[in-house]
Copies of this chain bind each other. A is one copy, B any other.
């Protein structure tokens, strides 16, 4: 299986696929070497919990491949996704030892982990790590705030369009393709997961996706394979300014 192979292949930081985007992005060769000594890889199957909210966390780490979600759940079962973890995203908070959220693997994922204590020690001695972590945290804060506008003020249709446009944009940057012409990607989430992200029910998600398809804003092949013929149109539907307005 590919994920198992990657466990073997990516022992060396120098050819790590997330090297230039992860928490270690700013590290010099010697710093990287010290990180390499305390790191270990770990694989999680699709659907499994990486972390349970409230549990003690003895490690932090980066998503190397695959997709995970950060979710919050109320006692009566209502759940809200509060983050989508893609390759290079960081999991865990130095300085806190209890997890605040559930982290669930959406696909099979590989994580590059560090035991929390050694990592915290390194952070003190290695400003490059703390600097990069600050930068990433500020980006996440911006993303969270952008999402607050989606959750608080957008209609169901706009919410769906916003989610699609975010996934499309991320996909485009990951694969180094521009946002000109048509964009094609696979939805990494079930309808239910999308609903949890958007603060909707899965039925509403399904209906709105159908509506966007009917109106020609998106094209669907099967349930998951999406084509965006006109990115500008999608962003209009999302209620975003079609050109500027992008923070990242």
Q: Complex: how many Å from CA A220 to CA B144?
A: 33
- Choice from B80, B95, B147, B153 contacting A153 with Cβ under 8 Å: B80
Q: Complex: how many Å from CA A149 to CA B82?
A: 8
**7 contacts across the A-B interface (CB closer than 8 A):** A72-B145, A80-B148, A80-B152, A134-B137, A137-B137, A140-B141, A151-B151
Whether the pair A199, B153 counts as a contact (CB closer than 8 A) is: yes
**What copy number does this chain have within its complex?**
2
Q: Complex: how many Å from CA A78 to CA B152?
A: 10
List of B residues within 8 angstroms of A147 by Cβ:
148
Whether the pair A138, B95 counts as a contact (CB closer than 8 A) is: yes
Q: How many residues of A contact B (CB 8 A)?
A: 39
List of B residues within 8 angstroms of A144 by Cβ:
141, 144-145, 148
Interface string of A231-246 (1 = CB under 8 A from B): 0000000010100000
Q: Which segment, of A9-17, A125-133, A205-213, faces chain B?
A: A125-133
- Nearest 6 CB-CB pairings of A with B: A152-B199, A151-B151, A82-B145, A144-B144, A80-B149, A80-B152
Question: Does A8 sit within 8 A of B, measured CB to CB?
Answer: no
- Min CB distance A166 to B, Å, is 14
List of B residues within 8 angstroms of A142 by Cβ:
100
Q: Which residue of B lies closest to A70 (CB)?
A: B145
- Choice from B74, B79, B138, B140 contacting A93 with Cβ under 8 Å: B138
Q: Which residue of B lies closest to A200 (CB)?
A: B152
List of B residues within 8 angstroms of A152 by Cβ:
80, 151, 198-199
Whether the pair B145, A101 counts as a contact (CB closer than 8 A) is: yes
Whether the pair A153, B78 counts as a contact (CB closer than 8 A) is: yes
Whether the pair A137, B130 counts as a contact (CB closer than 8 A) is: no
Question: Does A83 sit within 8 A of B, measured CB to CB?
Answer: yes
Question: Does A55 sit within 8 A of B, measured CB to CB?
Answer: no
Question: Does A203 sit within 8 A of B, measured CB to CB?
Answer: no
Question: Does A192 sit within 8 A of B, measured CB to CB?
Answer: no
Whether the pair A79, B130 counts as a contact (CB closer than 8 A) is: no
Q: Complex: how many Å from CA A75 to CA B141?
A: 22
Known: A100-B247, A130-B127, A138-B137. A74 touches B151 (CB 8 A): no
